[in-house]
A and B are shown apart, each in its own frame.
Chain A
């Protein structure tokens, strides 16, 4: 059943016993048995059993970098869509600009995109994001595409190997938000190539040796261009 060592699990599949293992993410325990709670890939680290989601909504985690789109500007805050089940609040104190009361629309308005960081997630899943950090800004120009948030780690690769590779061969500026939104800026040809690469990653996300195959693909294309 396992394909190249990655095993796909479906909800209610028994993964282990609480006597020998610990239940990690994406699992639940009932009567001493560990079950998968969602469709995903089995990941065992030591004696902790995790299920890495294959599909599903982005689940916000504090300190995640996300790309948000402003939905609404209120007098002292903005509501921002970050692809989570809930809109996120961006307070005027959390932006790098001095804003007079009621002047929020001059800085960010409906439809603007921002690169933000998740500031807090409370018990009832109320979200707050911030722009007060280095590398956070309002996005101008470029393209934003959306992918399944579960494959974001694959697009970034081990310590950024995959994304560095794509940047190197396409000479585009790319930011990958943890929420599955990707901002790309560069010439048309470069963007085309990035999209191709991301499509490939999307369809082959659960396989091994993807970075190596990707380098091949990008190299081949690079030769055609020159």
Chain B
């Protein structure tokens, strides 16, 4: 789609006034649902995501069990009202793919070998979407897993980088995602720097890719601090009430 909209000025100012290496505002709250074992509500710019974690519990039907470790079943779902035109409810090709890559990413950080034959269910509901929902969902899932008391190797975190108007920038907004040149969502394990999820949409040269990758890693570490603060905030206040 061709557009004469200027996504980024020569001075590096973006449509919403951010600089090229600025994130949108992120707000995370842990433990918002009392029926779930663990939960998290996250706002990332205009994205609103709620995540509920259940388990570890027995994996059913039996043929999906792994006798040596737990399986992780993430389900990414967009609410019908989350996008501009009504989204037809139910799983579609896109959400099935996202569920799969998020499951794989989370499986890497959960100590699954402690729970043979079990499953950890992660329900990611996107209430409001504004580009970067898979990153928002995965970040929220990380917090919800901690809140559920599930043993983890690391708290997973995600952040995207991309290219707009010929420049590599961090954390694309809606117009930037739709009209930009490339989008590169990345999830890492911040303690070790291992990559948990890496996808790309659009075109980047090798140099641009490397630049975007480094930028996304930097973004992930910033978001990781916000995650940890949110968890600490929740449980420190529990302790401080008395």
Q: B150, B228, B231, B239: which has the most chain A beta carbons within 10 Å?
A: B239
Q: Say yes or no: is B91 at the interface (Cβ < 8 Å to chain A).
A: no
Determine the distance from Cα of A38 to Cα of B153 in the docked complex, in whole angstroms: 9
**What residues of A have a CB within 8 angstroms of the CB of B57 in the complex?**
57, 85
Whether B118 and A85, one on each chain, are in contact in the complex, defined by CB atoms closer than 8 angstroms, is: yes
Q: With A37-B152, A38-B151, A85-B115 in contact, do A124 and B231 touch (Cβ < 8 Å)? A: no
B interface, size bucket: 35 or more
Majority DSSP secondary structure for residues of A touching B: loop
Query: What residue in chain B is nearest A27 (Cβ atoms)?
Result: B151
A129 to chain B, nearest CB (A): 16
Whether A54 and B235, one on each chain, are in contact in the complex, defined by CB atoms closer than 8 angstroms, is: yes
Whether A125 and B240, one on each chain, are in contact in the complex, defined by CB atoms closer than 8 angstroms, is: no
**What residues of A have a CB within 8 angstroms of the CB of B67 in the complex?**
124
Partner of A39, one of B111, B116, B147, B239: B147
Listed stretches A2-10, A104-112, A137-145; interface member? A2-10
Whether A28 and B242, one on each chain, are in contact in the complex, defined by CB atoms closer than 8 angstroms, is: no
Whether B239 and A86, one on each chain, are in contact in the complex, defined by CB atoms closer than 8 angstroms, is: no
Q: Say yes or no: is A75 at the interface (Cβ < 8 Å to chain B).
A: no
Q: Say yes or no: is B154 at the interface (Cβ < 8 Å to chain A).
A: yes
Whether B149 and A10, one on each chain, are in contact in the complex, defined by CB atoms closer than 8 angstroms, is: no
B147 to chain A, nearest CB (A): 7
Q: Say yes or no: is B56 at the interface (Cβ < 8 Å to chain A).
A: yes
Determine the distance from Cα of A178 to Cα of B150 in the docked complex, in whole angstroms: 19
Contact with A along B97-133 (1 / 0, CB 8 A): 0000000000000010001111000000000000000
**What residues of A have a CB within 8 angstroms of the CB of B151 in the complex?**
11, 26, 28, 37-38
Query: What residue in chain B is nearest A33 (Cβ atoms)?
Result: B191
B71 to chain A, nearest CB (A): 12
Whether A56 and B149, one on each chain, are in contact in the complex, defined by CB atoms closer than 8 angstroms, is: yes
Whether A28 and B153, one on each chain, are in contact in the complex, defined by CB atoms closer than 8 angstroms, is: yes
Determine the distance from Cα of A81 to Cα of B142 in the docked complex, in whole angstroms: 28
**Could you list which residues of chain A lie within 8 angstroms of chain B, going by C-beta atoms?**
1, 3-4, 6, 8, 10-12, 26, 28, 35, 37-40, 53-57, 85-87, 123-125, 150, 203-204, 206-207
**Could you list which residues of chain B lie within 8 angstroms of chain A, going by C-beta atoms?**
37-38, 55-58, 67-68, 111, 115-118, 146-155, 190-191, 228, 231-232, 235-236, 238-242
Given A39-B147, A57-B56, A207-B242, 8 further pairs, Cβ under 8 A: A10-B232, A11-B151, A11-B154, A12-B152, A55-B37, A86-B118, A125-B115, A203-B241
- What are the 6 tightest A-B residue pairs by CB atom distance, in nearest-first order? A56-B149, A55-B149, A11-B152, A37-B151, A3-B239, A85-B56
